[in-house]
Chains A and B, each alone.
Chain A
Amino acid sequence: MPESSELFTVFPIFLVVDVSASMAGGPIEAVNRSLPEMKAEMRSNPTVGEIARVALITFSDQARTVIPLCDLATAPIPELPVEGGTNFAAAFRELRAAVDNGMRSLPKGTPVYRPVAFFLSDGEHTAREDWGSALDQVRDDGWKYRPEIVAFGFGDANGEALRRIATRFAFLAKDQDPAMQVREIMQALIRSIRSTSSSFRDPNQAEGLHLEAPSEYFTPLPPMTT
């Protein structure tokens, strides 16, 4: 962990994006259009771009960290291709590793916001392995870097699964067109990053994160209590 006499505040954000075959066409195109928009926001708005650090994780049968935690303003944005099935367990294992690696890459003593993971999926887990234990590893209360997980579902996403994944906030997109749903999710995500980056503290940790998911476009799912 590097040492520095200047430790700049960091808001760590992890995007966990489903790139399974069902994302082909409009949905993946919407994701690929939205990532450069997010980068543009980082380059133009100091209250976001000077704080937010973003990592991009994709998952299908397997999961990959496509962009490690970094200043998105200076990172090349790859075109995401669609792949195979849907394996939530692989996504959560990769998320845990990306958070660990990303947080440990920051200089010691860096002031940080609580990490946030935005999980986007259009379907259900289709792999043979159970995904519960991998999710438990990400939601482990004893983990120092445990992120707040916000789950967005669209297309054929399972509401109960999204409720189980989210630590507090889960949403289903309303629009009939999956491409529009992805577009609205990515816009909500950018707005949420913007409002959380420019807000400061709350004793109730539920409000440490400011979600901007208008009811016009999203159905909020009640949090799972067990």
Chain B
Amino acid sequence: MGDAWHQPTEPAAHTRDLATSAPVIGDTLPIMAGSIQRGDGRRACDVALDGVVAGRHHVAAASLVGLAHAVSGSSRQDAYSFCLDPRGRLYVAVADGLGSRSVSQLGARIFCDEIMRAACERDDDSPAEPATLIAIAGRNTATITRDVYGQNPREVSCVAVVGAFGQERFEFARVGDATAFEFADAAFVELFDNHSDFVNLVDAAIPEDNDRATTVTMTSRASVIALVTDGLATDIRSSEGVRTWLISQWAMPVTAYAMSESLRYRRRGSHDDRTAVVVWTQIGVHDAPT
């Protein structure tokens, strides 16, 4: 890895932190303490974690507040959720609130919840298509935002990726730059095309563009799939150090705390929230989860 890869620094003297073996990549500046802003009644917690067996799959998930949000006192804007529908199909949603909208963390959270509700409360026995779920959940997000929270739906905009893991195939749909990777043969393969010229701009969001989802499908197989927000996706695309680290961390199914550890690396310029829901599919052919 050369000079870009070195051991982590000690945690700040005035707080106690858990030891980590997560790497520090590149020349980094000292981290400032996190804070919160006055009057922010919609703040999301800094960390969310999971690590469970879900039907035929193992799912581990983590969402960690980014340095930029922690330092400025603004809320983590990512959210995730996953569920098994009544027939045992796994659905995953990962959303990322837009930084320029005042309460986008609320939109990301509502959207993920509405994806789960739409997947589980269907009358139809056929698998729900992620693009259809996005359209339904996006509309519901706008309605709930306006009618329950009294907010302009524009103020909760987010981007999202949704996955459905069926018996025959896996299907993924997204709006904006949230994305999905397959981890195979010690490498990451991005399932969506990445066309973005600039990292601080996206061309579509929910609820404005609910019907503009892009879909990809793959045959159901034993695999490891990660649905992620762009804070992590950018690092996977642009950092050999991060890829090497995650490959070592996700080589087998992990617990909630091990999933948290996998996203605790420090990398120069990587300050956005990091969120990943990792699915070890058809775990009968993987090592059993610990």
**How far does the alpha carbon of A210 sit from the alpha carbon of B4 in the complex, in Å?**
31
Cβ-defined contact, B208 with A8, below 8 A = no
B contact residues vs A (CB 8 Å cutoff): 1-2, 4, 25-26, 28-32, 67-69, 71-72, 96, 98-101, 157, 159, 176-177, 197-205, 208-209, 230-231, 234, 237-241, 267-272
Cβ-defined contact, B26 with A111, below 8 A = no
Cβ-defined contact, A50 with B269, below 8 A = yes
Binary interface encoding of chain A residues 166-203 relative to chain B, with 1 for a CB under 8 A from any of its CBs, else 0: 00000000000000000000000000000011111111
Interface of B is mostly: loop
List the A side residues contacting B67 at CB < 8 Å. 46-47
List the A side residues contacting B205 at CB < 8 Å. 202-203
List the A side residues contacting B176 at CB < 8 Å. 201, 203
Count of A interface residues, CB-CB < 8 Å: 34
Cβ-defined contact, A202 with B29, below 8 A = no
Cβ-defined contact, B268 with A44, below 8 A = no
List the A side residues contacting B269 at CB < 8 Å. 8-10, 50-51
A153 interface hit (Cβ, 8 Å): no
A109 interface hit (Cβ, 8 Å): yes
List the A side residues contacting B208 at CB < 8 Å. 203
CB within 8 Å of B: which A49-85 residues: 49-51
Cβ-defined contact, A6 with B72, below 8 A = no
Cβ-defined contact, B200 with A196, below 8 A = yes
List the B side residues contacting A202 at CB < 8 Å. 98-101, 200-202, 205
Cβ-defined contact, A113 with B198, below 8 A = yes
Other than the given A51-B269, A201-B96, A203-B201, 13 more pairs (CB < 8 A) read A5-B4, A6-B25, A6-B239, A8-B268, A46-B28, A46-B67, A50-B29, A51-B271, A112-B199, A114-B201, A203-B176, A203-B202, A208-B201
